[in-house]
Structure 1
């Protein structure tokens, strides 16, 4: 009998964290034949593969797959290809899941569910510093309703458990070769979902670590964020989405555009051509971006002026703080 759930864990140079992640997946009070754990070694250059092999000797039911480096999206796609569970949970290898959480999760899952959305907390320097617990949904809601009324910019893939048939029947794969792929994938997937539920408890522990993408900003980070925002503009202009979904998506685009320009200014990175292209496209979409804040109107009317002003203010802020 096929397992109910496949847990897919991409592995790339995460030696200090991997064991904790995998052990958490087996610290569960249900039979191991009800779920599977798939490790996708994505061309690690540290000893992550060796650790994975040792973990497999301890937990023989682990599926261990090795491939040349394709990035996080490519590793997730590979894991999905090899998954046989009715549902799929993509877990990042530097995080971990709650002990004995799978019993409650599996009880909630049934064939009619497309997506289950989970609560999580954030760990920093050995402590849980924040938690994000969704509101209870007693009845199924659409993916558009989940996006518009519940998501609140929490696009992380690991917050979602997907019906594998839902993903496959809608040809939903992760866009490979980019950073921040969750921001691109989640809005695209939720459009297709008709039955979603939330689970109002913390089931996932997210680790903030110094070597994460969020803490190492380079030109590529800014370029990829603007690339995704242009993809979201494409999505906004399709006839497939409702007015409420379009309204929420336009707010996401505006918010993320502002964040990205701020990030570029703080990191002393020039706004790339893709960023200017995005701003010009926003200007042409008055139907969606007509009711934006004065601050955002300033950003899209004078992006270079806003960039320079923000950069100067940030430098001043840093100098003041350095003297304290």
Structure 2
């Protein structure tokens, strides 16, 4: 088995057929790749459609579990995957038809630990490329070099990994949290020795306004602090410019958490402020930034951690671009 496509499923009855259809519409023998569907306790009719596909295609297997979240579903799929390489595909997205033969050929002939592919956002039938990597197409780099060249996107489905690389480096997803990709990918890329770049658009991200990554949920702010804290711990094991990359991820996580505080009720906000105060050490990464506005924000938030969400929103209103 050369490749395992792992698809967690939870309440995606409107999208799962499109996703699975793209995964079976391939130019690779079904004996060479498998599709592992992890039913994460879905409450709708998603598995009805999955079962129909599984009856027709022998390389589709179904794993059932109670609802534990995307990370746990990915970890479960990884634990049973038979392929030499694994690709985590989200159930409301889809992949290019007849792409697997070329991807698998690259993975094996270049002896890769990972393959970074290009993706596009799809909204109202408009396809918008996410990242231009044309000058790196076909180039084999280390994961650190990918980061240094600013061509990495932390979204997990954009990278196909060698399964043994993940196992040997004990790389799993932090369970029970949102934004697990932001915690996982920086750890993975620091270890990667051979990553090839594919500039062809292979993966399509449906801009679903109801997806867990785009919906408003106060829990996300608490989880972002957990992710930032985990990255801070990992920062102790990295060196060189990679420290700066991790620091930027931490700053982004903390500011996103502070932004989300405005959607909390009074009790949630009080608990969040207590949590921020406990994690005020994270503001040291702001102070170390080369951007003066982050330095000032970091100093003020460290001194007045309990009101850091108010400080952030002041900076957001007057100093930060809307896409910071």
Shorter-chain TM range is 0.7 to 0.9
After TM superposition, list the pairs within 5 Å mapping 1:29-108 onto structure 2. 29-108=27-106
The 8 Å contact of residues 142 and 194 in structure 2, kept in 1 or not, is answered as yes
- Asked if 1:253 is matched to 2:258, the reply is no
Which residue in 1 is equivalent to 2:157?
Answer: 158
Q: Which residue of 1 aligns with 2:312?
A: 307
Which blocks of at least 5 consecutive residues in structure 2 are unaligned?
A: 302-306
What is the deviation of 1:295?
Answer: 1.9
Aligned equivalents of 1:132, 1:267: Cα separation in 2 = 33
TM superposition outliers: structure 1 runs of 4+ over 4 Å: 266-269, 310-313
> Could you tell me the TM-score, scaled by structure 2's length?
0.87
Aligned equivalents of 2:228, 2:86: Cα separation in 1: 26
Q: Please, what TM-score do these two structures have when normalized by structure 1?
A: 0.87
Distance 1:150-1:69 versus aligned 2 partners, 3 A rule: same
Pairing of 1:1-324 with structure 2 (within 5 A): 3-110=1-108, 112-135=111-134, 136=136, 138-152=138-152, 154-236=153-235, 238=236, 240-265=237-262, 270=269, 271-283=272-284, 289-303=287-301, 304=307, 305-309=310-314
User: How well do the aligned residues superpose, as a CA RMSD in angstroms?
Assistant: 2.4
How far, CA to CA, are the matches of 1:264 and 1:298 in structure 2? Answer: 20
Q: CA shift at 1:310, angstroms? A: 5.5
Q: Tell which deviates more after alignment, 190-199 or 219-228.
A: 190-199
Cα 1:308–1:6 change in 2 (3 A) is closer
The farther-off stretch of 65-74 and 263-272 is 263-272
Deviation of residue 99 (structure 1)? 0.9
Runs of at least 5 residues in structure 1 that lack an aligned partner in the other structure = 318-324
Alpha-carbon deviation of 1:289?
Answer: 4.5
Contact 1:180 1:224 in 2 (8 A): yes
Cα distance in 2 between the residues matched to 1:267 and 1:132: 33
Tell me how far 1:116 sits from its aligned partner: 0.8
Q: Tell me, what secondary structure is at the counterpart of 1:241?
A: coil
User: What displacement does 1:105 show?
Assistant: 0.5
Question: Deviations along 1:57-85, whole A, 9 cap, x unmatched?
Answer: 12232111111111101111111111111
The size of the alignment, in residue pairs, is 307
